[in-house]
Amino acid sequence: MSYPAKLQRIVDLFASAPKEIRIQALLDYSNRVPPLPPRYANNRDSLEQVHECQTPFFLASEVDKDGTVTMFFESPLEAPTVRGYAGILAEGLNGEQATTILELPNDFYYGIGLEDIVTPQRLRGMGAIVARLKRQISDQLELAGEIPASRSNVESE
C-alpha cells in the first residue's frame, strides 16, 4: 500500500532502520507533537479520550471545507512511545485529505516495524488511535453531507 508522501517518508525511514534506530526515531517523534491550540488546551472536554491506550491519550480532528484534516493530540511526556506515534501521525497526516486518511489501515504500524519495539497492548492502543481519528473524520464528513464511500475501514475490528 502506498501512503501520502509525508507519511511514506516516515514509513520508509522506520522500515529500513535497525531496531535501535527505530526506537530512537520513535522517541524523537515524541518531541514533535505540536502543543494544543488554546481552543483545546483551555477546553480539554473537547478532546476525545482513547481508552484503549495504557496511558491517558486524547485527540481531536478537524476537517476543513476543502477536505483537509488537522489532528490534535494530548499525551503525557512520560509516555514517549504512544506520544511518538502521535508525532508520526501529526507529521505524516496533518494537512492530508480526509478521504486519504480514511483509507489508512488502522494497523499500518506493522509496515514500519513498530511491532518489534512496542508491546502488543501499546500496538492495540495505536490502532485504536487511528480508528478513532477515522471515525471522527467520517462523522464530520457525514455532518457536512459528504458521506464517505466506505465506512468499512473506519472502525477497528
0.75 exceeded by the pTM? yes
The answer to whether position 118 is within a domain reads yes
The answer to whether position 137 is within a domain reads yes
The answer to whether position 103 is within a domain reads yes
User: What is the C-alpha to C-alpha distance for residues 40 and 63, in angstroms, rounded to an integer?
Assistant: 15
The answer to whether position 154 is within a domain reads no
User: What is the C-alpha to C-alpha distance for residues 89 and 79, in angstroms, rounded to an integer?
Assistant: 16
- Residue 134: count other Cβ atoms within 10 Å of its Cβ: 23
Q: Which of 120, 119, 60, 113 is nearest to 86 (CA)?
A: 60
Q: Would you state the pLDDT for residue 110? A: 87
Return phi, psi of residue 85, to 5°.
-65, -40
The answer to whether position 67 is within a domain reads yes
Domain around 53: 5-143
The answer to whether position 157 is within a domain reads no
Handedness of CA 63, 156, 48, 58 (dihedral sign): negative
Q: How many domains does the chain have?
A: 1
Segments in 4-146 forming alpha helices (H): 5-16, 19-30, 38-41, 80-93, 98-102, 120-143
The answer to whether position 151 is within a domain reads no
Q: Would you state the pLDDT for residue 157? A: 39
**Do residues 19 and 123 lie in contact, with contact meaning Cβ atoms separated by under 8 Å?**
no
The answer to whether position 150 is within a domain reads no
For residue 10, the domain's CATH number is: 3.90.1010.10
List per-residue pLDDT tens for the chain, 157 residues long. Answer: 779 999 999 999 999 999 999 999 999 999 999 999 999 999 989 999 999 999 999 999 999 999 999 999 999 999 999 999 999 999 999 999 999 999 999 998 888 899 999 999 999 999 999 999 999 999 999 998 877 655 545 554 3
